[in-house]
Amino acid sequence: MSARLGQYWLLWRAALGFTHAFSPRLLLLMAVLTTLVSTGIAATSASSAAWRTWALCTPAGFLLFAWTMAYVPGALKLNTPANAQLVPAMRRRLIELTLLVWLAGIGVMAAGMLSTTNTPGPGVWLAAAITLGTATLAAGVSMAWLLYLPVLAGLIAVEHLPRWLQAGVLGVVTSHLALVLLPSLGALATLAMFPQAGKRHWKMLPAQSRAYATSVDAGLEREPGRLSWDGLLLRRAIAHGKPGALLMLALGRSMPAALANGLALVTLGIGTIIYLAQRGVLPTMSDYFSQWSWITISGVLLVFVFKAGMAPTWLARTTGEQALVRLAPAFPANAAAFNNLLARAQLRQSLTIWAMATGAALLLGLASGMDGSALLQQIGVCCMTLPTLALALRDHASSRAWPVFGMWIIAVGLSYAGPLVGIAAYGLFGLPFWPVALATAFALSGALVASRMRLMHAAPIAFPAGRLD
């Protein structure tokens, strides 16, 4: 391995926050499993050309997602004003690595599009605008909103534009000119994200802090308002005197309540765009959503998968409150009884979020005009994530708190168990995919939940969590 590649690898690991040797392997494994599942489902239910698109676009989308949501925030922390000034070689390597990874993701996605449509299509432009726009906003670049212009332009009916402008827009979007313009756009955005100290760099730091303040994790830590869902749930729990509900609310903000508003807004916004596109009000978007509706809709399930992976880590952050909970007379002092109460409360919370995500996915499916069989398949996709319910059930007193990222990977991996068995059964024995996949997901969910319930029943009292590490 050359010295430069070694530096890239060190910076990649540092930006992603890998603290264990198995973390990058888990990340790669999840990307491979995602590609196998999506490609296998496409091969069993679509044309021969469709699976090639999924085989290329799925890992590309995964790489772009990891680049936007995990790598860029970590890389920005590495490029502090002091580091940028005192270690300029590291800044240069960060710029090179950031651009190369983004170009790799966009390039593979474009190749996937070209394999079936012979044109990059609006999907590549949309992916480029969203990833670069989100990254530059997180970096605190003042002109980052300009990168969202392609997305806004896509919402305009091309038929309403002058003929000369209509031809130009369609020519750029559907021609190979995009493959020439996108690298330049990515290079400009990357240079803007990593300044070398100076006043502009210092002005960007408060914007980066504000970007973190709007994250899901910070939203769970924010104090709820008087008229929020948390207040309503707390009053209802006190009125009914249910120990399980009181137990979860005593640990801080309700995760279903914290996620409900954001999920509702996202569902309403995306659903409106899909509804208008499917009915010809936004003609330029109809082809895009006809190809990508499954990705858009199924992506809502990440809300549930991420919550399932975050539950153990979130519980480990409220040890002070947990010590007070142990003193409350409403909760049993016996370890087995207390752990059973906690396990049932965690299961109810996880099932509530699963029902919310499933309902949002189905509403988006209805808005996109899915027929009955497609909606049933969407319900099947939602059921594939049920094995992740077991992740919240563990020996909280003595189990190590895994990094959130690692728990998310495990959650996604559990969701792939049903589809992988279904694909194998279809390819080896000719069995129908959906019945086998659903039976596997349900059986695995029941077995994991039952075994983890027994584990919690026999474990030391859960609160405070992590005290026996």
Query: Tens digits of per-residue pLDDT, 322-374?
Result: 888 888 887 888 899 999 999 998 898 888 888 888 888 887 777 777 777 87
- Structure tokens given for 28: 């790669």
Weakest-pLDDT range from 75-79, 285-289, 304-308, 400-404: 285-289
Statement to judge: residues 393 and 419 lie in one domain: yes
* Reported pTM: 0.71
Please say which residue of 153, 187, 213 terminates a domain: 213
pLDDT digits (tens, 9 = 90+) for 102-151: 999 998 888 887 777 666 666 777 788 888 888 888 888 877 777 776 65
Domain membership of residue 318 as a residue range: 215-469
- Structure tokens given for 161: 């534009």
Closest CA to 173 of 105, 104, 123: 123
Burial of 107: CB neighbours in 10 Å, binned 0-12, 13-18, 19+: middle
Taking residues 60-88, report their average pLDDT. 86
Statement to judge: residues 68 and 158 lie in one domain: yes
Q: What is the DSSP string of 367-420?
A: HTT--HHHHHHHHHHHHTTGGGGGGG-S-TTTS----HHHHHHHHHHHHTHHHH
Question: What is the pLDDT at residue 216?
Answer: 46
Q: Which residues of 131-146 are buried (b: 16+ CB within 10 A; e: fewer)?
A: bbbbbbbbbbbeebee
Q: Are 285 and 155 in contact (CB under 8 A)?
A: yes
Statement to judge: residues 459 and 351 lie in one domain: yes
Q: Phi, psi (5° rounding) for residue 18?
A: -70, 120
Statement to judge: residues 361 and 298 lie in one domain: yes
Q: Compute the CA torsion angle 24, 26, 32, 38 (nearest 10 deg).
A: -130
Statement to judge: residues 181 and 303 lie in one domain: no
How many domains are contained in the chain? 2
Taking residues 85-91, report their average pLDDT. 86
| Between residues 360 and 64, the one the model is more confident about | 64
Task: For the chain, give the percent of residues with pLDDT over 90.
Answer: 12
Please say which residue of 159, 184, 213 terminates a domain: 213
| Between residues 227 and 29, the one the model is more confident about | 29
- Residue 77: pLDDT above 60? yes
| Average pLDDT of the residues of the chain | 77
Between the alpha carbon of residue 228 and those of residues 257, 259, 349, the distances in Å are: 8, 12, 18
pLDDT interval class at 160 (50, 70, 90): low
Question: What is the pLDDT at residue 364?
Answer: 77
Between the alpha carbon of residue 44 and those of residues 31, 38, 59, 112, 431, the distances in Å are: 20, 10, 19, 18, 11
- Residue 158: pLDDT above 70? no
Between the alpha carbon of residue 282 and those of residues 165, 274, 275, 278, the distances in Å are: 17, 9, 9, 8
In sign, the C-alpha dihedral spanning 267, 272, 273, 276 is: positive
- Structure tokens given for 240: 């009914």
Statement to judge: residues 208 and 261 lie in one domain: no
Question: What is the pLDDT at residue 448?
Answer: 95
Please say which residue of 213, 248, 275 terminates a domain: 213
- Structure tokens given for 393: 């059930």
Statement to judge: residues 187 and 286 lie in one domain: no
Question: What is the pLDDT at residue 436?
Answer: 94
Statement to judge: residues 117 and 263 lie in one domain: no
